Amino acid sequence: MVQSNAEDVDGYLDEVPAARQEALRRLRELCREELAGFTESMAYGMPVYERDGSAEIAFASQKRYISFYLLRGDVRDAFAERLAAQDMGKGCLRFRTPERIDFALVRDLLKATALRRGTIC
């Protein structure tokens, strides 16, 4: 599942493979806990978390991995040392299996994102 046509995040989570549902539900829970003032919606076929109309965080179940999109360059820069050990593209952490998700790192990234506004890449 690369892109979903689900109308909401609940529908999206119902569509993902069973082996990934728990991990994706946990990602959603962390986003909802840490991103106070953000709006949860669907965009680009995945759950996104927006502030003032701009997506700053997203996640998705891709064919070969789970993606966590960190769209703030300042937060990526601040966490460069911790992110160096991760499989990461320009703004996307890739977790090959649900067991590889570092939920403590994700929580810290979410807290830093929520703390202040920054430039979206």
pTM: 0.93
Amino acid at 100: R
List the structure tokens of 44: 């680009």
The pLDDT profile of the chain, 121 residues, written as one tens digit per residue, is: 457 888 899 999 999 999 999 999 999 999 999 999 999 999 999 999 999 999 999 999 999 999 999 999 999 999 999 999 999 988 899 999 999 999 999 999 999 999 988 888 7
Q: Indicate which CATH number applies to the domain containing 74.
A: 3.90.1150.200
The answer to the question of residue 120 being in a domain is no
Q: In terms of residue numbers, what domain contains 27?
A: 9-114
Q: Determine the residue type at 66.
A: I
Closest C-alpha among 12, 104, 119 to residue 70:
119
Alpha carbon distance 13, 17 (integer Å): 9
Give the pLDDT score at 1: 47
pLDDT computed for residue 73 by the predictor: 93
